Amino acid sequence: MIPYKHDPWTNFSVEENRRAYEAALKKVEAELGGDFDLIVDGKRIKTDDKITSYNPSNKEQVIGTVSKAKREHAEEAMQAAWTAFEEWRKWSPKARAEILFRASAIVKRRRHEFSALMTLEAGKSWVEADGDTSEAIDFMEFYGRQMIQLAQGKPCNSSEFQHNEYNYQPVGVGFAVPPWNFPFAIMCGITVSALVTGNAVLLKPSSNTPIIAAKFVEVLEEAGLPKGVLNFIPGSGSEIGDYIVDHPKLSFVSFTGSREVGCRIYERAAKVQEGQQWLKRVVAEMGGKDTIIVDRDADLELAAQSIVKSAFGYSGQKCSACSRAIVHQDVYEQVLERTIELTKELPVGNPTDVHTFVGPVIDAGQFRSISEYIEIGKQEGSLRLGGEADDSTGYFIQPTIIADLDPNSRIMQEEIFGPVLGFSKAKDFEELLEIANNTDYALTGAIISNNREHLERARRDFQVGNLYLNRGCTGSIVGEQPFGGFKMSGTDAKAGGPDYLRNFLHAKTVSEAF
C-alpha cells in the first residue's frame, strides 16, 4: 500500500490548473438544478417535500433540490442499516478500506468538479474549495490505512496457559450529522470513519449543502459500498434529527456543528429510552472563539499576516477562524494598523473569480445574525474597518475590524461565524494568556512570540485543542494536526488523528485457557 501522504493542493498560479478549474465551473453550472432522491436500503425514494440549495453569491440561483425525509423514512433507514450491518461488520477491515481508497481515486480524478460545486453551493474561493476536497481525500486515505492497522488489535500480555487478545469490533448503527462549512471534508470524514470501522450509517447532510453530499454518496456507491450500509436522508433537524437521536436502536452520533445543536444532541442521546440496550456514544465537535495572541517580543508582520488570513479566509466561517486578536499594549497600535492595511487589500466578491479571497456568508440567517453583531460591535468598541453588508444579489459582508473591545464584551465572547474580527489590549503576557482562556470555548489558538519562555508557557497553559506557535490558527492537515477542541468546543475527538476511529469501535478482550 502507498504510505499516507497529504493530498497536495492545486497551484492556481499554473495556467493549466486555472483553465481546468474554469472548465469545471462551467460543467457544474451547466448541470445545476438536479433533483436528488433519498437513498434507503439502496432504493431511491422521491418525496414531494424538497430541500432547495441556493448559491450564496447569487441567491436566485438554484444549485439543486433533494427529497426531504420524514420520520417514516428515518425509521426505514434505521431498520435497513441494522440488516446491512449484520453482513458489513463481517467484511474484512482491508476490504472496507479498499472501498475508501477507490472512492478517493474517483474523487481525485474529478477533484475540480467537486471543488467547483462548493464554490457555487457554499461560496468557497477556489483555494478554500480545493483545500476542502483535498481534506476529504485525506480522510479517506488516512482512515482506510488506520483501519487496516487497527485490524491487528493491540498487544497484551499472555501467560503459558492463557492466551489473551485485544481487538476492535464495530459498534452498530450511527447517525452522521455534518455542518455546511466544510461541506465535503467533514461530511466525508464523519461518514467514512464510521463506515470503515464496520458500522452502518444514516447520513443527514446540512440543509445548506445537500448537493455535494448527494454527489459523494454516489461516489461511495460507485466504489462498491453495499446497499443499506449508508442511507442518505436529508431532512430537518427538528423533524428527523431528534427522532433518530432518540431512537433506542441508535448506537452513536457523530456530529459536527454548533454548540446549541451539539448540546441538544448530547443531552437527548444520554437518555436511555425504553427498549434501549446500550449507552449511546456521542462525538460532538462544536463551535469556537479562537484567539491569536501577540506578544511584545514578536514578529509583528507575521502577526498581522497570520491574523488576517485566519480571520477572513472563507469569510471567517471556520470553527478555527481567528475572531479575536489580543495584543500586548506596547505593540497594539502597530499590529492593529497593519492588520487593517492588509485586510483592505483582500479581494471581496463572487468566488467564481480566481482572485476572490472573501466570498459571501452562507445564507440569509447568517447574514442577519452577523449584521446584528456588527451593530453590537459598534456599541461595544470602535469600528475600524468594514461594517457594510449587501444582500441585494448574494450575502456579502465586508471584512470588519472592531478595536478596543473589553475582553468580556459579546464580540469577544460569542461565536459570530463571519468576517468580524475583534481586537483587545493586554498589559503583559500574563494578561494575554488570561484573556485567551476567558471564553467557554477551547478549539484553536495561536501565539506569535519570539520569547521562548512564553512559547513554553503557552504550550502548557493556553487552553485549546489545537495550539499553533508563530503561525495562524486555521488550516489543520489530516494526520499532521489532529483536530478538535474541549470545553464547549466539544468532545475533542481529534478528527484525522491516531485515536479517532476508536470512537466508533468497541474494544474486546478474548482470553483462552489451555
In the complex, the residues that contact ligand NAP under the rule CB under 6 A are 177-182, 186, 204, 206-208, 236-238, 241-242, 245, 256-258, 261, 264-265, 285-288, 319, 415, 417, 443, 483-485, 489-490
- Choose between 127 and 319: whose C-beta lies nearer to ligand NAP: 319
- Choose between 96 and 289: whose C-beta lies nearer to ligand NAP: 289
Closest contact distance (angstroms) between CB of 141 and ligand NAP is: 19
Closest contact distance (angstroms) between CB of 207 and ligand NAP is: 3
- Choose between 80 and 190: whose C-beta lies nearer to ligand NAP: 190
Rounded CA gap, 343 and 196, in Å? 42
- Choose between 66 and 294: whose C-beta lies nearer to ligand NAP: 66
- Choose between 13 and 238: whose C-beta lies nearer to ligand NAP: 238
- Choose between 192 and 223: whose C-beta lies nearer to ligand NAP: 192
Closest contact distance (angstroms) between CB of 489 and ligand NAP is: 6
In the set 76, 128, 285, 380, the catalytic residue is 285
112-311-364-267 Cα dihedral, nearest 10 degrees: 100
The single-letter code of the amino acid at 481 is Q
- Choose between 286 and 436: whose C-beta lies nearer to ligand NAP: 286
The single-letter code of the amino acid at 323 is S
Closest contact distance (angstroms) between CB of 103 and ligand NAP is: 21
Distances (CA, A) of 395 to 26, 238, 297, 441, 478: 22, 26, 39, 27, 31
| Pair 38, 214: CB distance under 8 Å | no
Rounded CA gap, 362 and 180, in Å? 8
**Order of strands, edge to edge, in the sheet holding 50-55?**
34-36, 58-67, 50-55
Active site residue 263: no
Distances (CA, A) of 481 to 19, 436, 478, 487, 513: 32, 21, 6, 19, 43
What is the three-class DSSP state of 314? helix
* 221: CB partners within 8 A, 6+ apart: 39
Distances (CA, A) of 390 to 125, 348, 353, 458: 19, 12, 18, 40
Active site residue 156: no
What is the three-class DSSP state of 284? strand
Q: What is the DSSP string of 397-425?
A: E--EEEES--TTSHHHHS---SSEEEEEE
What is the three-class DSSP state of 394? coil
In the set 319, 322, 380, 473, the catalytic residue is 319
CB burial class (10 A; 0-12, 13-18, 19+) of residue 105? middle
Closest contact distance (angstroms) between CB of 256 and ligand NAP is: 5
Residue closest to ligand NAP when measured from CB atoms: 237
Closest contact distance (angstroms) between CB of 224 and ligand NAP is: 26
Instruction: List active site positions.
Output: 285, 319
